[in-house]
Amino acid sequence: MVVKVLCDTIQRSKKVTMSETAVLSIDGVSKSFGGIHAIQNITFGVRAGEVLGLMGPNGAGKTTLLNLIAGVYRPDSGRILFEGRDITRYPPHKICHLGIARTYQIPQPFTSLLVQDNLMVAAKYGNKRGDTLELDEILDLVDLLKQKDTIAGDLATVSLKRLELARALASNPTLILLDEVAAGSTEAELPRILDITKQVRKMGKTIILVEHVMKVMVEAVDRIIVIDKGEKIAEGTPGEVMEDEKVLAAYFG
């Protein structure tokens, strides 16, 4: 009897730690191209349901880091774990099947396909975890429902940015990597982008957000990781990070 109670307690505590541990953990990951150390020994975790901001000056290695997670590049050393599984050497399509979707900084749509078919590719090939999704709902969320029968190549840049997000959502991911969704938007469009980000979060998705627009960064994220020259230089809440000396030095010299 006592043993059973003990076992239960242990199991319960295990469950608790499980939910607190990271969905995604980056464990000492490095990547160099030729002689350039793009990413050097970076370690951090992403908790379930949080929005993690990834910040850094131009060329700091933010996009490279996303590419490492998404399987476009393989790290030279270190491990990447997603939901406890080692995905370090997985190809991009398998990583998508496991539940990581990404958007591109410069939109990369399927230009000859209709907007809704762009989503259909991700829904039919990327969603391997049950749950059929209402693609119209996703299109509605990003304000593209009216343009669903437009050829993606004919969309304006702002709409293409949203199509990136919609396509990422269409593969029904648990973790979304957003590479500068707000970049290039006008001041007036920012509240809507923030709103969309919040809605995505409400859907229970975990988000890694790379962003230059400070307003989005400060308002949307729980935690920020700052990298500079491929190394992690700070980690904390937006408030903490903004006052960090290393961060100020990286940005203002």
Site for another protein, rule CB under 8 A: 70, 72, 91-93, 95-97, 101-102, 104, 108-113, 117, 120-122, 124-128, 167, 170-171
CB of 72 to another protein, least distance (A): 7
Of 45 and 92, nearer to another protein (C-beta) is: 92
Nearest to 168 by CA among 193, 216, 205, 210: 205
**In contact, 48 and 24? CB cutoff 8 Å:** no
CB of 96 to another protein, least distance (A): 4
Output the six-digit token pair for 90. 């997985």
Query: What CA–CA distance (Å, rounded) separates 190 from 182?
Result: 7
Of 163 and 242, nearer to another protein (C-beta) is: 163
Look up tokens 């850094």; give the residue.
Answer: 56
CB of 173 to another protein, least distance (A): 10
Of 117 and 140, nearer to another protein (C-beta) is: 117
Look up tokens 């469950």; give the residue.
Answer: 15
Of 121 and 190, nearer to another protein (C-beta) is: 121
Of 120 and 194, nearer to another protein (C-beta) is: 120
CB of 167 to another protein, least distance (A): 6
Q: In one letter, which amino acid is 161?
A: K
CB of 56 to another protein, least distance (A): 22
**In contact, 75 and 68? CB cutoff 8 Å:** yes
CB of 228 to another protein, least distance (A): 26
**In contact, 179 and 104? CB cutoff 8 Å:** yes
Q: What string of H, E and C letters represents the secondary structure of 121-135? A: HHHHHHCCCCCCCCH
Nearest to 118 by CA among 93, 92, 155: 155
Of 14 and 129, nearer to another protein (C-beta) is: 129
What is the enclosing helix (H) or strand (E) of 33? strand 22-33
